[in-house]
């Protein structure tokens, strides 16, 4: 309610969004609340232009928060990690939107095609998945797997449409994918034990 009230009074201005992000961050740290930290990152993403053409700022935020988390006392480390993880999810949503419609400048000029987004996102997911798998960062591996599946099915239905055959095949592939991911997670958990 506080955030909504400030946004209405400030008419959605940058200053009001920054105030909300700062208040959520402060309250999140004081209360040690992952929910408030997540809300702060969402509000901050709006301040830095969370659109498909400006996602590099969210990458920077994720990396910065992850690096900060390494130097914090354990009771605050999880808050920084929560912020970094939220940023990773936001970045992937930006790529998903870009893979559907591309990105246009506010004047309508095409900056990047949907195909370019699709290819870059697929490569980023593959590289990130391999890197985090080798370091046993299962949370990121699972996020990559989920967004990899979203990306695969988005492109699948974008190219093939929703016919009975494509839907049935996609469903069978989803089952194979889920069983495989479950097995990989179980294997990694067993290795750590």
Residue 168 lies in a domain: yes
Q: Grade residue 105 by pLDDT with cuts at 50, 70 and 90.
A: low
Rounded to 10 deg, the angle between the 2-9 and 14-31 helix axes is: 160
Residue 3 lies in a domain: no
Residue 34 lies in a domain: no
User: In this model, does residue 169 exceed pLDDT 50?
Assistant: yes
Q: Grade residue 93 by pLDDT with cuts at 50, 70 and 90.
A: confident
User: In this model, does residue 147 exceed pLDDT 90?
Assistant: yes
Q: How far apart are CA 172 and CA 101, in angstroms?
A: 27
Residue 72 lies in a domain: yes
Q: How far apart are CA 65 and CA 67, in angstroms?
A: 5
At 58 the pLDDT is: 57
Q: Are 36 and 49 in contact (CB under 8 A)?
A: no
Range of the domain at 144: 48-192
Q: Which of 27-31, 68-72, 130-134 has the lowest mean pLDDT?
A: 68-72
**Number of residues in the chain:** 193
C-alpha 172: how far from chain center:
26
Q: What is the pTM of this model?
A: 0.73
At 124 the pLDDT is: 93
Residue 96 lies in a domain: yes
Residue 175 lies in a domain: yes
Residue 11 lies in a domain: no
Beta strands in the chain (DSSP E): 103-104, 110-112
Residue 55 lies in a domain: yes
**Which residues neighbour 162 within 8 Å (Cβ) at sequence distance 6 or greater?**
none
Q: Is 120 exposed, middle or buried (0-12, 13-18, 19+ CB in 10 A)?
A: middle
Structural domains counted in the chain: 1
């Amino acid at each position: 309610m506080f955030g909504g009230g400030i946004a209405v009074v400030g008419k959605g201005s940058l200053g009001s969004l920054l105030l909300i992000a700062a208040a959520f961050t402060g309250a999140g740290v004081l209360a040690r609340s992952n929910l408030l930290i997540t809300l702060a990152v969402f509000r901050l993403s709006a301040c830095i232009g969370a659109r498909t053409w400006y996602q590099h700022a969210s990458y920077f935020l994720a990396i910065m928060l992850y690096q900060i988390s390494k130097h914090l006392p354990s009771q605050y480390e999880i808050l920084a990690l929560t912020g970094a993880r939220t940023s990773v999810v936001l970045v992937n949503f930006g790529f998903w939107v870009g893979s559907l419609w591309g990105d246009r400048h506010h004047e309508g000029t095409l900056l990047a095609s949907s195909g370019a987004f699709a290819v870059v996102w697929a490569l980023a997911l593959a590289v990130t998945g391999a890197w985090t798998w080798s370091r046993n960062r299962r949370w990121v591996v699972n996020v990559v797997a989920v967004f990899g599946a979203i990306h695969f099915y988005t492109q699948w239905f974008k190219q093939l449409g929703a016919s009975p055959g494509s839907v049935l095949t996609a469903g069978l592939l989803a089952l194979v994918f889920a069983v495989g991911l479950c097995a990989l997670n179980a294997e990694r958990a067993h290795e750590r034990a």
